[in-house]
Structure 1
Amino acid sequence: MDNHLISQLEKLIDIGIALSAEQDSSRLLEMILQGAKQITRADGGTLYSIEGNAIKMAIVLSDSLGINLGGSFGVPVTMPDIPLYFEDGAPNLKNVVSCSFHHNKTINIADAYHNQDFDFAGTKAFDLQNQYHSKSFLAVPMRNHEGDIIGILQLINAINASDNKVMGFDEISQHITEALASQAAIVLTKQCLIDDLANMFESLVQLIATAIDNKSPHTGEHCRRVPELTMMVAEAAHNTRHGYLRDFVMTDADRYELKIAGWLHDCGKIATPESVIDKATKLQTIVDRIVLLETRFEVVRRDREIALLKQQIQALEQGQTPESAGTQAYLAALAELDEDLAFIRQANKGGEFMPPEDQERIRAFKHRSWRLGGEMQPLLSDDEIDNLTIAKGTLNAEERRIINQHIDVTIAMLEKITFPKHLQHVPEYAGGHHEKMDGTGYPKGLYRSQMSIQARSMAIADIFEALTSKDRPYKQGKTLSESLAILKKMKETNHIDPDLYDAFIEQKVYRHYAEKFLDDYQLDVE
């Protein structure tokens, strides 16, 4: 075996090993074409991809002309596509690469200028314009594992090692190039399958998040905004080069893992009843029960009116003026009823904080009554009082327990998934966004030292999104100043990570997020 053949085989092996390790599709294409050029000592070449009924140039290289187009070179290929079929439907057999595709075979041309089988008019025009001479051609189809041609590898002008003159591609070079093309096609197919599976997985993840958001108009964008804000916080940590975070770095794989965790952080809400997620008022069940209270107040008003009318009739019977009989007391009672109902309606809306004195005023309604079927009933039931005295938001203790349980469901769901190695931390990241640094969070009561920086980043993102969110049923989205003040308080009380909070402030993550997602009225901090 001569030294040249040994060298070619060694290069083929080296290229095969390199191809197996590469994961970037653009780099794979470049390596295939560069490797084929090295093995055959070709001056130039083009790697074509098959897309529909066209052959597209993916990578174009020429050593003597200094051409590097496509892939990661940064210069796009602007040359026209080669049609596989003519307008009448006939196969295009006039171009070397299209003929190679249709006949599913290698085409080796020693001298294009003396070949009558193909149309080299475009090649000759290119040569004339660039003062080049395209002589020898080698076009090799690239077949995947199913035998489909996914691309064409074409080399131009083999260079003789002894005198540097252009020669034809010898038989050995052709066979080795065919071996490389076969191996390259398998690697490309593998990478395409990996990319397709990754894209499908990510699409399914986003589909789950979208389905959860769509369960409620009040959290309609939460599962979309939290992943973005989580990545912003984590990037701020990555860019910090002092203090606790100075050694924290993320690779692209780390970023992808955290992004997936962000999209899945509330997947457990898929099992949370809509009646809890959508509870817009304190008295809401299937309907808002405030209408029942309004009916009771209307009955009380009616009874007051009937009592007044009876009193006026009695006054007439006694020869008195009816207008003077209890009218002032009646009007005062109606005003009091209107005021009480307005207060209950306001309490029913929920809010950030209900003062204790307002809660006591609600409880006092238990001692007031209305008449139902001849029997006196409490104006407000115990259940209605319990709900109307909710201090924050619209959920009572049991409903809060139900909605908090979503994180247990999230963790249980994610732990049942067999994640690949590069996504092993998804359950931990997604499952820790309700934990607090002092161990008072849920569901596991973890301390700061027991949590990853990624999980702590998601905790800040989840809180800040909720504070500024405009679609909660019981509040407007808070301004930046209000939200940052609350977040600062949470840092001081050891609820959120202090170093991540500092990075959040120093690098103005809040501002970048606000400019993308918040309304103008909320942007009161630079």
Structure 2
Amino acid sequence: MLAAYEHLLKITLALSGERDIARLYEQIIEAAQELTHSDGGTLYIVDERDGHAVLRFEVLRNDTFSIRLGGTSGTPVPFAPIGLFLPDGTPNLSNICAYVYHHRHPVNIADAYSEDRFDLSGTLAFDQKWGYRSQSLLTLPLANHEGSIIGVLQLINAKNPADGTVLPFDPALEPIVGALASSAAITLENQQLLQGHRNLLDAFIKAIAQAIDAKSPHTSGHCQRVPVLTEMLAEAACEAKDGPLRNFTLNDDEWYELRVAAWLHDCGKLATPDSLLDKSTKLHSLCDRIEGIKTRFAALIAQTQLRHVRQGNSDPAALEAEIAALRDDCAFLERANLGSEFMHAEDQARVRRIAGYRWIDHTGATQPLLTEHEVELLCIERGTLSNAERDRVNDHINVTIQMLESLPFPRELARVPEYAGGHHERVDGKGYPRGLTREQMSWPARMMAIADIFEALTARDRPYKAPMKLSQALSILKKMAQQGHVDPDLYQLFVEGGVWRRYAEAFLLPEQLDVSDAAPYTLESA
């Protein structure tokens, strides 16, 4: 018996170290079978179905027929759960497992076929179907540290180790198996609590990402697609057989750490003003201020006509030419406001010339047609953001780092701030916010940089630009790899490993898929 207790201690220690709940379910059954030399067993977990408490089949084992259901087998137990209460609300005491749940103590049956206290029709039906004989049964409750029953363990057919004959379960083993059940229940509850906390954290993280995407139609879905693309690239890295990434691998904790970082990589955008995230034109703020400028042009045109009348100007052609020039200048500013083309020096000079026009406001005061701030915005060379606005948007990464570094991440998530905070760094040290070099960045941070850029290039839901074709996106990304923006080894893996193809097939529009051969986009190609 001492050996049995020593064996129990060894098993208990092993169970306490198991973190995979499905595997833990299996180990509980396997340990109980090992202690009692039983031929089979079933683990039931207390659950709720349609508002009613039930015992859900979680793992079923039978060594005679090599049956392995539930747990990590990939094959669920195909039996309906056992109701713990009858339709009238009274406890179900006819089923042995439900009885053990309600009475909270083990039931040891020497011969199921001579048992008349319980309805064992399910057990007998199994026997009839499989040509089996369930003889001895030991059913035990799994109580957690608060005394609540969270499951039931049932063992079938204790065997004589010497000759394999079926025996009743030794009553002397009941305390030992009961101790195993109690230890297993506490371990199981701890893992369920941990999984519950992880599920809550996951839901909270995804809610933050959805909130960021909801702030702006320009980035809708970005925070949800970047994690997918990051994981695709990480999977390709784990599968690499040669090259710098041949030894790269991620365990379960590291995979989770990467996922959390990817989902939170833009959490700092919560502090970015909507007016900047939604800035689809150069003059856009809470509204597009080009409309105000067009109104001023309309007033200036009317005032020009009035001036001609008052001056007695009898040359209609001159008036029409002056008005046509004003309308052409207004149309030019409308085009410049879009930010879709590079703003050349001569175009910037034209903006400043137009700013010199004068019009009379509602008070009778003469005003310049454009304010200094409007001139500054309309003269933006690329895109719609001024340098100050771009700095404000880019500052989201500092906010991201500050937010994440302020959180008490557990040890297995300690690198989340580094991964998430590095996706705007460049391998040549010219990125932001910290100007890290390639050697100072982890592989996951470099992966996220590529994922962030490629998603932004190919996004199909940006209202200010048409969806970019794969050929153009890959060409841009290749140039970035050549110029020290993104990691060249990861870029090569991104292309040769077909990551771009898998992502494109899942998320891009058919008209974007114009690449069938990635060879021209490898770094070795001309």
Partners of 2:171 and 2:295 lie apart in 1 by 96
Partners of 1:401 and 1:75 lie apart in 2 by 54
Give the 5 Å matches for 1:80-95.
80-95=80-95
Give the 3-state SS of the residue equivalent to 1:188 in structure 2.
helix
After superposition, the Cα gap between the structure-2 partners of 1:458 and 1:302, relative to the gap in structure 1 and judged at 3 Å, is: same
Give the 3-state SS of the residue equivalent to 1:285 in structure 2.
coil
After superposition, the Cα gap between the structure-2 partners of 1:406 and 1:125, relative to the gap in structure 1 and judged at 3 Å, is: closer
What corresponds to 2:292 in structure 1?
A: 292
Amino acid at match of 1:104: R
Give the 5 Å matches for 1:403-482.
403-482=393-472
Are residue 400 (structure 1) and residue 390 (structure 2) matched? yes
Give the 3-state SS of the residue equivalent to 1:243 in structure 2.
coil
Shift of 1:233: 2.1
Shift of 1:352: 5.5
What corresponds to 1:102 in structure 2?
A: 102
After superposition, the Cα gap between the structure-2 partners of 1:122 and 1:239, relative to the gap in structure 1 and judged at 3 Å, is: closer
Query: What's the % identity of the aligned pairs?
Result: 49
Contact kept? 2:329, 2:354, Cα under 8 Å: no
How large is the RMSD of aligned CA atoms in angstroms?
A: 1.7
After superposition, the Cα gap between the structure-2 partners of 1:445 and 1:126, relative to the gap in structure 1 and judged at 3 Å, is: closer
What corresponds to 1:486 in structure 2?
A: 476
After superposition, the Cα gap between the structure-2 partners of 1:127 and 1:226, relative to the gap in structure 1 and judged at 3 Å, is: closer
Amino acid at match of 2:500: Y
Partners of 1:42 and 1:423 lie apart in 2 by 41
What corresponds to 1:371 in structure 2?
A: 360
TM-score normalised by L of structure 1: 0.93
Partners of 1:265 and 1:393 lie apart in 2 by 23
Shift of 1:260: 0.7
What corresponds to 1:339 in structure 2?
A: 328
TM-score normalised by L of structure 2: 0.93
2:319 to 327, 330, 345: 330
What corresponds to 1:159 in structure 2?
A: 159
**Residues 393-435 of structure 1 deviation map (CA, whole Å, 9 limit, x = unaligned):** 2111211111111111111111111211111111111111111
What corresponds to 1:302 in structure 2?
A: 302
2:343 to 354, 369, 390: 354
After superposition, the Cα gap between the structure-2 partners of 1:120 and 1:247, relative to the gap in structure 1 and judged at 3 Å, is: closer
After superposition, the Cα gap between the structure-2 partners of 1:214 and 1:279, relative to the gap in structure 1 and judged at 3 Å, is: same
Partners of 1:330 and 1:395 lie apart in 2 by 37
Shift of 1:475: 2.2
**Further displaced range: 86-95 or 176-185:** 86-95
Shift of 1:305: 1.8
**Residues 167-224 of structure 1 deviation map (CA, whole Å, 9 limit, x = unaligned):** 2112211111101000000010010011111111111111111111111121121111
Partners of 1:64 and 1:515 lie apart in 2 by 47
Partners of 2:163 and 2:242 lie apart in 1 by 60
Are residue 23 (structure 1) and residue 19 (structure 2) matched? yes
Partners of 2:397 and 2:341 lie apart in 1 by 23
Shift of 1:153: 0.6
2:3 to 7, 25, 38: 7
**Residues 122-167 of structure 1 deviation map (CA, whole Å, 9 limit, x = unaligned):** 3333323322222211110001122111111111111134543222
Please, which runs of 5 or more residues in structure 1 have no aligned partner? 316-324
What corresponds to 1:188 in structure 2?
A: 188
**Further displaced range: 455-464 or 328-337:** 328-337
Partners of 1:263 and 1:352 lie apart in 2 by 33
After superposition, the Cα gap between the structure-2 partners of 1:336 and 1:470, relative to the gap in structure 1 and judged at 3 Å, is: farther
Shift of 1:375: 4.1
Q: Give the count of matched residue pairs.
A: 511
**Further displaced range: 424-433 or 43-52:** 43-52
Give the 5 Å matches for 1:7-406.
7-52=3-48, 53-310=53-310, 314=312, 325-351=314-340, 353-372=342-361, 373-406=363-396
Partners of 2:228 and 2:134 lie apart in 1 by 51
Q: Which structure has the larger Rg over C-alpha atoms?
A: 1
**Residues 83-141 of structure 1 deviation map (CA, whole Å, 9 limit, x = unaligned):** 21222323211111111111111111112222221122333333233222222111100
Contact kept? 1:429, 1:454, Cα under 8 Å: yes
Partners of 1:428 and 1:493 lie apart in 2 by 23
Shift of 1:236: 2.4
What corresponds to 1:502 in structure 2?
A: 492
Shift of 1:371: 2.7
Shift of 1:381: 1.7
What corresponds to 2:519 in structure 1?
A: none
**Residues 285-313 of structure 1 deviation map (CA, whole Å, 9 limit, x = unaligned):** 232211211111111110222234345xx
Partners of 1:374 and 1:156 lie apart in 2 by 99
Give the 3-state SS of the residue equivalent to 1:287 in structure 2.
coil
Shift of 1:356: 2.8
Partners of 2:394 and 2:256 lie apart in 1 by 27
